[in-house]
Amino acid sequence: MMSEPQEIIPIGKNELVGRVAEFFAEGYRLVQICCTTLKDSYELNYSFDKDYHFKNLRITVAPDEEIPSITAVYHNAFLYENEIHDLFGLSVKNIAIDYHGTLFRIAISKPFSIENVKLPEPPPPQPEESKQDTKVVTEHPDGQEPQKA
């Protein structure tokens, strides 16, 4: 299995622009900004790459929190930031090219917001015995005797 080392660095929102500027100074390119809806907050991953070293800055924000724009450092971030505003309903402050909610022509407002996204329930933790029972049923659906390891 190929495994590319990937680093995720959790930081506070107030550190964001400073840390992004450090990445810029070190010669990293901005690969993407990826927003993920959590149960009651949003997680933003700012991905950078330099010589195939992949690093992510991660911030977690509440729905009503304002996020600082990084377009003053990486101009190409404006598309990602407008996307986050339009699809997730998050407010991004001082975007270099701000579409004010018109980048995405969508039928419903902020479709990826907490109110709209249905998150899957994690499976309940199962005791060791019942897990083994499930495995036996899966591996022997035709009723054969399970082989013991």
Partner 1 sequence: MHKNIIPFGPQHPVLPEPIHFDLVTEDEKIIDAIPSISYVHRGLERLVEKRDYIDFVHIADRICGLCSFMHSMGYCQAVEQVMAVEVPERALYLRTIWAELSRIHSHIFWLGVAADAFGFESLFMQCLRLRESVLDIFEETTGARVILAVCKVGGVRRDIDAETLKGIVNRMTAMRSMMEEISNVFISDYSIQHRLSGVGVLSREDAYTLGCVGPMARASGLHLDMRTLGYAAYKYLDVEPVVESAGDCYARCLVRIRENYHSIDLIRQAVEKIPEGPVEVKVKGAPNGEYFSRVEQPRGEVIHYVKGNGSRFLQRFRVRVPTFSNIPAMIKMLKGSELADVPNIILTLDPCISCTER
Q: Which residues bind partner 1 (CB under 8 A)?
A: 1-4, 6, 29-32, 34, 36-37, 45, 47, 52, 54, 56, 74-76, 78-79, 97, 102-106, 111-112, 117-123, 138
Taking the complex as a whole, how short is the minimal distance between the CB of residue 122 and partner 1, in angstroms?
A: 4
Nearer to partner 1, 14 or 133 (CB): 133
Question: Under the phi-then-psi rule, with left for phi > 0, alpha for psi from -120 to 50, and beta for the rest, what region is 114?
Answer: alpha
Nearer to partner 1, 15 or 139 (CB): 139
How far apart are alpha carbons 20 and 52 in whole angstroms? 18
Nearer to partner 1, 14 or 130 (CB): 130
The two structure tokens encoding residue 98? 């701000």
Nearer to partner 1, 36 or 60 (CB): 36
Taking the complex as a whole, how short is the minimal distance between the CB of residue 115 and partner 1, in angstroms?
A: 13
Backbone angles phi and psi of 2, in degrees to 5: -75, 130
Nearer to partner 1, 14 or 33 (CB): 33
How far apart are alpha carbons 133 and 138 in whole angstroms? 9
- Pairing state between β 53-61 and 42-50: antiparallel
The two structure tokens encoding residue 35? 């927003």
Taking the complex as a whole, how short is the minimal distance between the CB of residue 144 and partner 1, in angstroms?
A: 17
Taking the complex as a whole, how short is the minimal distance between the CB of residue 106 and partner 1, in angstroms?
A: 6
Taking the complex as a whole, how short is the minimal distance between the CB of residue 25 and partner 1, in angstroms?
A: 12
Rg of the chain's alpha carbons, rounded to an integer? 21
Sign of the CA dihedral running 117, 118, 123, 125? positive
